[in-house]
Amino acid sequence: MAVCANSGTQNEEIKEVTTKQFRRFDVVTDDSDHLYRNHNQTNKNKDGDYFTNASSGVHKKIMKEWKVLEENLPELIYVRVYERRIDLLRAAIVGPAGTPYHDGLFFFDLAFPPDYPSSPPQVRYWSFGLRLNPNLYTNGLVCLSLLNTWHGKKNERWNPSESTVLQLLLSVQGLVLNEKPYFNIPGIAAFPGQGKKSMAYNDNVFILSCKTMVYLLRRTPKNFEDLVHSHFRDRAHDILTACNAFMDGRARVGHTTDNGSISSSSWSSVSVSSKFKAAMKSWYPQMVVALGRTGASLESFLELRVEKETALSKQVKKEKNKSKTASFNPLVIKKWVKKVIGESHSSPRSKLTQFLTSPQHTSFPSFSHRPTSRPHRISHHHKRITSENITLSTGGGGDVGGRRDVAGGVGLDGGGEDAGGGGDAAGGDDVVLVGGGDAASDVGIGDAPGGADDIVSPVLLLFLCLDL
């Protein structure tokens, strides 16, 4: 089943802009979807608006920030500022290689306060309701010492004379979107044995990062349409290749290089949780479709995944059938029964009676019978146990799994108080062949309550009644 998402109409609408052609810093006008658009609307002093008055200290400081960003932004960070709203700023950060955020795009909206730089900027993350980092909340809150949203050491907090927006963006890129985000949880590193939890957290982060990719392609932040489409078009192949490698256990999440290939340190087979596989299988087709709409040629990826899943399903089914055949061999059971009971020519019922009433047997501990004043019976609708008449019951006495409310008969499974058929709960001196002891029946197998010593298999009982 191939998916071709590259219709002619869609391709015509997609501008052929590469990521390298998208400017890292630019001034734009459309602020209609900015998360702080309605912020700072009434912040004016006697000389007018702090942000429109070119002679104000706030305006001068923001213009200085613009210059620093334009000249010093690193390769994987993109910024847009607004011509009519200099108090607003939007940044996009590419997830670094070697982390569970690799190849993703993460957007942040900033608003300068009226007393900037005395107070740090306010920041909101485009979360889409997902929490893929301990520092990034579902409501968009960014928890960081530099923003004074987390208590930290004095040298980690916002310093009006030194701190800048560039420093803030670099901190998010390097300290938040790192290779082991689980350890961003305060104090967690002090507890031993956190390695497995960290790897499981990375698995979940990658799933949420993949969801974020799909959501960004459905609802792209304004002024970044070219970046989002060109970025995911250029990296679609690497993203889906990584997805397949992670699902197949050929690499661990986060082990990618700068060029998108799988790190050589993770070439050995790794264990993959069923939860991760299920989540990735659910989102993988949506990712193929969403990434295909950028103009990337991905027809083979979904078809490849379907072929792998089909082959895996057949292999699992084959192993299950093999396991069932190996675990149930009637000939082996018959031989064992003959060895235990002997080559007697008596009827199967007589064999079972002799087996049950024998005071001692070489293969099993002896049966003990607790005296009772009540008559020996199986139940009100089953016959008395005699040497000529034994009734097996899976309905009237002791269902598989055993339940207290089922009375009488020979229980085929159970143990403890709820063992099927037997004891006072069943109303009679019944025989319970699996389970036993005082808590389960009047006639128990083994010395320990609940039949802990030996168990007679239900399969054995069935073969005892066959003509061996």
One-character DSSP codes across 78-90: EEEEESS-TTEEE
Least confident of 70-79, 162-171, 327-336, 438-447: 438-447
| Contacting residues for 468 by C-beta, under 8 A, at least 6 apart | 334, 337, 338, 348, 351
**pLDDT value at residue 357:** 56
Percent of the chain beyond pLDDT 70? Answer: 56
More reliable by pLDDT, 352 or 282? 282
Of 301 and 141, the one with more pLDDT: 141
Q: How wide is the angle at C-alpha 178 spanned by C-alphas 138 and 26, nearest 5°? A: 75
What is the band of 193 on the pLDDT scale with cuts at 50, 70, 90? confident
CA distances from 441 to 277, 381, 463 (A): 46, 18, 23
Quote the pLDDT of residue 89: 98
> Please, where are the H alpha helices in 148-273?
165-171, 195-218, 225-248
Q: Is the pLDDT of residue 393 over 60?
A: no
- Between CA 384 and CA 424 the distance in angstroms is 17
Q: How do residues 210-250 score in pLDDT, each as one tens digit?
A: 999 999 999 999 999 999 999 999 999 999 999 999 998 88
Residues in the chain, overall count: 468
Q: Provide the pLDDT for residue 230.
A: 96
- Start-to-end CA distance of the chain, whole Å, equals 53
Place of tokens 């005699």: 386
Q: For 197, phi and psi rounded to 5 degrees?
A: -65, -35
Confidence label for 326 from pLDDT (cuts 50, 70 and 90): low
Predicted confidence at residue 44, as pLDDT, reads: 55
Q: Check: CB of residue 80 under 8 Å from CB of residue 66.
A: no
The reported pLDDT for the residue numbered 367 is 41
Reported pTM: 0.63
Least confident of 108-112, 142-146, 237-241, 325-329: 325-329
Q: Is the pLDDT of residue 95 over 70?
A: yes
Closest C-alpha among 119, 32, 42, 45 to residue 84: 32
Q: What are phi and psi of 339, to 5 degrees?
A: -65, -40
Which range is least confidently modeled, 148-162, 177-191, 292-306, 387-401?
387-401
> Alpha-carbon distance 420 to 402, whole Å?
3
pLDDT band at 439 (very low <50, low <70, confident <90, very high): very low
Reply yes or no on whether the pLDDT at 174 is more than 60. yes
DSSP summary character for residue 188: G
Both structure tokens of 291:
């990434």
Identify the pLDDT of residue 362.
46
Catalytic site positions: 143
115's CB contacts (< 8 A; 6+ apart) are 58
**pLDDT score at 103:** 95
- pLDDT of 337 above 70: no
CA distance 17 to 227: 8
Ordered by where they begin, the domains of the chain are 13-188 (3.10.110.10), 204-323 (no CATH), 342-468 (no CATH)
CA nearest to 299, candidates 102, 72, 6: 6
C-alpha 397 chain-centroid distance: 43
Residues 6 or more apart whose Cβ sits within 8 Å of residue 415: 402, 434, 435, 436, 440, 450, 451
DSSP letter at 262 equals B
**Residue 455 is encoded by which pair of tokens?**
């168990």
Give the best-scoring range by mean pLDDT among 251-265, 272-286, 309-323.
272-286
pLDDT 10s digits, 30-87 = 999 999 999 876 555 544 577 888 889 999 999 999 999 999 999 999 999 999 999 9
